Amino acid sequence: MKSTLHGYMTVEAALIMPIVWFAVFFLIFAGFFQYDRCVAQQDCRVMVMRASDMREEDEATVLRKIVEKGELADRKKLLFSGSVQKDFRMSKNNVGMRIEGKVNTVLNRLIKETDLKVFAYASEYETEKYDPVRFIRICRRIEKYAGS
């Protein structure tokens, strides 16, 4: 029996399989990156909304109460983010927060350029402080204009 197989299939597989594996691992890593980004943004949004509802005037007191509730993005929730920086600010009428995070890649030891070592994300949210009296007045105006 004469063998009709040639070696070109082995060569093609050797060239294509690393590309396929890289694509699969990149998709998995991109999913983890998106998860960390979404968790950090959601926590930032929740913290700003909770801070806008608090009556305290002291920024440190408000931040401490928010952190005690456990909604802060930390190492327990995040999968790959190495560091998350939070910048909380509060004024008389507004509450704002900026959250930044970095996800280290597997390219840390392979590439010396700093741009490819880390994927970064950032989000910023700002809201007005909640004023119950103003809210009731707005509801009454809407009720008046609606004709009820």
Q: List phi, psi (to 5°) of 7.
A: -85, 0
Provide the residue type at 79 as one letter: L
Nearest to 125, CA basis, from 52, 69, 73: 52
Query: Pick the residue with more confidence: 9 or 79?
Result: 9
The model's pLDDT over 46-96, given as tens digits with 9 standing for 90+, comes to 888 888 877 776 777 777 777 776 555 555 677 666 677 888 888 888 888
In the predicted model, is pLDDT for residue 103 greater than 60?
yes
Q: Is the pLDDT of residue 114 over 60?
A: no
pTM: 0.68
Mean model confidence pLDDT for the chain: 78
Higher pLDDT, 47 or 1: 47
Residue in 98, 95, 86 with CA at minimum distance from that of residue 127: 95
DSSP-assigned states of every residue in 55-88? ----HHHHHHHHHHTT-S--TTT-SSEEEEEEEE
Amino acid 147: pLDDT: 76
- Do residues 58 and 105 make contact, with C-beta atoms less than 8 angstroms apart? no
* pLDDT over threshold 70, residue 122: yes
State residue 82's pLDDT score: 67
